[in-house]
Amino acid sequence: MLVSGNDVGNPISGQESSDKISEVEIEIQVIDFKEVYNKKTKKTNEGLKYYLEDSEVTIVAQATDEITRIHAYTQRCVEAAIRTHDTVGRILNNVLRGRH
């Protein structure tokens, strides 16, 4: 899982900044994660569409600073990518963000 901190203190347009980049601690819990997901096929006018059945997971993130952006990606493991000739790589997923 890739987690990056905030952008505090980054120089903007060549301007020097005296602020230091703060260290942010992030705790992430992935709920309802499965080791294997069933792939389904649906016939459309454009051809076949593949999707994963029951693939929604909940991720709870807590940080010592405000979380301003969330990007979630999925990617096949190396062995599966080789076996299926997958050259797409990681794919950006939709994120429904809420506060708890």
Q: What is the pLDDT along the chain (100 residues), one digit of tens a residue?
A: 444 444 433 333 444 444 556 788 999 998 988 888 888 999 999 999 888 888 888 889 899 998 888 888 989 889 989 998 989 999 998 888 876 5
- What pLDDT sits at residue 55? 86
CA dihedral over 57, 95, 77, 46, signed as positive or negative: positive
Residue 82 one-letter amino acid: I
* Entry pTM: 0.56
For residue 83, the SS3 value is helix
